[in-house]
Every structure is written in structure tokens, then in C-alpha cells.
Amino acid sequence: MTEKRRNIIYIIVTNLLSLMMLATIGNSIFNSEFTKRFVEIGYPTYLIIPLMTAKGLGIIAIWSNKSHLLKEWAYSGFFFLFLLAMLAEINAPFPDYVSPPTALILLLASYLLWKKKID
């Protein structure tokens, strides 16, 4: 695979991941069902604002190439967030088996493509 093609795939995958995160941020702001789902999964509602703030900052850290360390931490934070979301969905009364694994796959693809890009 050429470097140009890998960069294009990296941009597409990272855009999809970013859109997914922005959709959850928007959903938490404009959809009252989001709060109900959050409680249904077993998380307290006071975590919504810090979690959505962290998601926004994580997206900014991934797209700004200011610091490799900060970008690594953003990827790491998203990994644990998606892993815990997947485990919470498994134990939910009405589980969503699609969103967390999709986000995890997009995250891992974005991370691996970024690591190949900087090596």
C-alpha cells in the first residue's frame, strides 16, 4: 500500500470516528432519550458532561498534531471508553451490539494507520 493511499484511508477512518464522537456529543445535548439510555446502562447522569467534554477534547487532540504524547493519551482514553461502553452494553437490558464495537474498530484502524504514518 502506498503512503498516499494509507494517508487517505487514515483521514477517512479518523473522520468517521470523529463524526461518531460528534454525533454522541450532539445526541447528549439535544436528545432527552440519551440520558435515559445512560441510566439504563448503569452510569450516573452526572458523568455525561465530563464525558462529552473529554470526547471533544480527545477529537481535538487527535486532529491537532501538536504533541505525539497527547495524541497517544487521546487514543488510549478512547480505547478504554469504548471498551467500557461495550461491556456496559453487554450487561444492558436492551444491548446495542453495533455502536461500541464499530467505534473500537474505527479507533484501532485510525491508531494503527497513524502509527504507520509516523514511523
- For the ranges 71-75, 84-88, 115-119, the maximum mean pLDDT occurs at 71-75
Measured CA to CA in angstroms, residue 36 lies from 19, 29, 45, 99, 103 at distances of: 22, 13, 9, 17, 21
Measured CA to CA in angstroms, residue 29 lies from 53, 95, 112 at distances of: 11, 22, 31
- Measured distance CA(60)–CA(71) in Å, rounded: 9
What integer pLDDT is reported at residue 9 of this predicted model? 96
Domain ranges across the chain: 3-118
Q: How confident is the model at residue 1 (pLDDT cuts 50, 70, 90)?
A: confident
- Measured distance CA(78)–CA(19) in Å, rounded: 14
The secondary element (H helix, E strand) that includes residue 24 is helix 3-30
Segment 96-108 shows an average pLDDT of 94
Q: Is the pLDDT assigned to residue 119 strictly greater than 80? A: no
Q: Which residue has the cell 460528534?
A: 22
What integer pLDDT is reported at residue 24 of this predicted model? 93
Segment 1-28 shows an average pLDDT of 94
